[in-house]
Structure 1
Amino acid sequence: MHTNTVSRRTFLAASLCLPAIDFVRAYSPPQLTAGQVIDRIKTNVGIPWREQTVDKLIAGTPDTPVKGVASVMMATLDTLKRANAKGLNMIVTHEPTFYSHQDRIEPIEQDGLYQLKRDYIQQNNLAVFHFHDHWHGFKPDGIATGMIRQLGWEKNRDAENPRLFTFPQTTLARFAQGMAAKLNIQTMRVIGDPQLSVSRVMASWGNVSLMPGVPFLAQADVLVVGETHEWELVEYVQDAISSGQKKALIILGHLLSEQAGMKHCAEWLKGFIPEVPVEFIASSEPYWRPDQPPK
């Protein structure tokens, strides 16, 4: 008798639980996927999606379940590992993953390092989305906005030209030191007289070639760039100085000239991806100075 009573109670309890279990299964929100994150980016970026663009899913599939999103400047192997360790398995990267702007793998398919990086991404079920063209096309430019905020230059921006900034007069050396401190740069390079008086600054984040570098320089005392060919714009600035022009060039390095823009991107992504953590993961500066080796 006692055994039968227990059995009936157990059966009744189990029967009462079934509807609740079915309810949870029926109304649990579906797992967020990489494809859904990309669709939300396309919806929120505010400009038509281009037919010709490098912005696409480089690794993973649209069905990849997303546990967390990392916004990064460069999807280096180190950055991927740090994002993965935090449980952020969707990587939104501004620069390419596989060493060319278009992420073309044909030239490196047999390369051991490419294969190692590809395998790490696959084995850890990562999805990597290249987000370059449309983040620059965002209004205002997402990279420029992040950099200006990091530097605290909002009040110095020219109303007519978003690349031009005006500051109280200072020396080139002091201005460069201030930038280096705010961006935590170890290997900034500067061309020009350290005592040159500067107040008008033109900034072009990332890569800058001879054109439009030359007309940019004509509008300011100093041009700030991420990187440039040394036998083009660098040589031009050297010759300008030798000819008697009061000009200067500051070279930040490509990564640190745009990285704050992807910090801004993480904040933007949080606005429409509430289901999972979204975090900015900083990529490490690739260079170091002989007098200040990394610890």
Structure 2
Amino acid sequence: MKSTGISRRMFLSSGAVFAGSAVLAASPLKGWTFAVEPPTVGQIIDAFIAQIPSGAIPNTVDTLKAGSRDTKVTGVVTTMFATIEVIRKAIDLKANFIIAHEPTFYNHLDDVSWLQQDDVYQYKKDLLDKHGIAVWRNHDYVHSIRPDGVSKGLEDALGWQQLAVKGEPVYHLSAPQSLGSLIAFFKKKLNVPAMRYVGDLQQRCQKILVLPGAYGGKTQIEAIGKYKPDVVCCGEISEWETAEYVRDARAKGDKLSLVLMGHIASEEPGSIFMADWMKQHFPGVKATHVHPGSSLSFA
């Protein structure tokens, strides 16, 4: 996709910053090939960072959560969450590098100081250590590449490349359709059984504001005011913020609706983007996208 013109909510933490390789930064990647030695975890990380317009991000959360930069990569798994099930799948695939979009250890900073006596944390850590698997969180960087890797992945998943409004997080449908049919379309394309919404299922929608993931209520509401969409489609919200704003807007008389795609459903396509990036730039390394599924079920 393109630059959205609004700031994505990023909670940046203290941590190591991986500096891009000077060689890679100096020249575009042509595709990594190797005759004897496979690339290391660090070389793959540095190659991605070298393509970020702003370069290395200070105080990023995008650090190694397990393993070593010096590990020679036998295979890569890209995913939204490095769950225990995803780790087991990586083991089956003989892949020793997982690139995950979200935290591995249950908090944004992956601070594990409070988990040292926790059995679930210890099991997961031991599983990674036993099989020599490195985990890198790629959150800030994949949102900083141009186009934004997550937004581009979602756009491709929806097949909306030709509907994009340049320079905006907005899509203009060729013809209006009902909110109900739009929700049905999202459910089919993103393979989710249900979506929450605010609005009238018969409302005609044509201008769609798409904000995957968790932008935060203030940014979502400001974007609604800026772009004046028929419907805003978010990954997730705080229920006391954007949903209440949309409810009040409708009571005021605005024809505005809200659809919640789900955080995983809206951002997992970014992990497909990463698998494709690996195949383009490191064709000698087997890269597999593994969907973690949803942690939540619908009763």
Please give the range of the TM-score, normalised by the shorter of the 2 chains: 0.7 to 0.9
CA distance in structure 2 between the partners assigned to 1:228 and 1:146 by the alignment: 21
Q: 1:159 to 1:42 in 2, by over 3 A?
A: closer
CA distance in structure 1 between the partners assigned to 2:210 and 2:76 by the alignment: 30
Which stretches of structure 1, 4 residues or more, deviate above 3 A after TM superposition? 44-47
Flag the structure with more relative contact order, 1 or 2, with Cα contacts below 8 A and sequence separation at least 6.
2
CA distance in structure 2 between the partners assigned to 1:38 and 1:203 by the alignment: 28
Maintained 8 Å contact 1:70/1:88: yes
Q: 1:84 to 1:44 in 2, by over 3 A?
A: farther
Maintained 8 Å contact 1:241/1:247: yes
- Match for 1:187 among 175, 191, 194? 194
Deviations 1:254-287 (A, max 9, x none): 1111111110111111122233211111111222
Equivalent residues, number: 263
Aligned to 1:17: none
Aligned to 1:100: 107
- The answer to whether 1:264 aligns with 2:270 is no
Residue 266 of structure 1 aligns to which amino acid in structure 2?
A
Aligned to 1:29: 36
C-alpha displacement at 1:289, in angstroms?
2.2
Deviations 1:52-81 (A, max 9, x none): 211111100112232101111111111111
Maintained 8 Å contact 2:40/2:73: yes
- The answer to whether 1:164 aligns with 2:170 is yes
- The answer to whether 1:198 aligns with 2:205 is yes
Aligned to 2:127: 120
> Which has the larger Rg?
1
- Match for 2:45 among 22, 27, 38? 38
Maintained 8 Å contact 2:186/2:261: no
CA distance in structure 2 between the partners assigned to 1:236 and 1:177 by the alignment: 24
Maintained 8 Å contact 1:54/1:130: yes
5+ residue gaps in structure 2?
Answer: 1-33
Deviations 1:157-194 (A, max 9, x none): 11241x01111111100111111111111131111111
Q: What is the alpha-carbon root mean square deviation over aligned residues? A: 1.6
| TM-score when normalising by structure 2 | 0.84
- The answer to whether 1:132 aligns with 2:139 is yes
Deviates more, 1:47-56 or 1:220-229: 47-56
Aligned to 1:228: 237
5+ residue gaps in structure 1?
Answer: 1-26, 291-295
Maintained 8 Å contact 1:187/1:287: no
Identity percentage of aligned residues: 32
Structure 2 counterpart SS, 1:271: helix
Task: Answer 1 or 2: which has greater helix percent.
Answer: 1
Deviates more, 1:173-182 or 1:103-112: 103-112
Maintained 8 Å contact 2:143/2:149: yes
Residue 213 of structure 1 aligns to which amino acid in structure 2?
Q
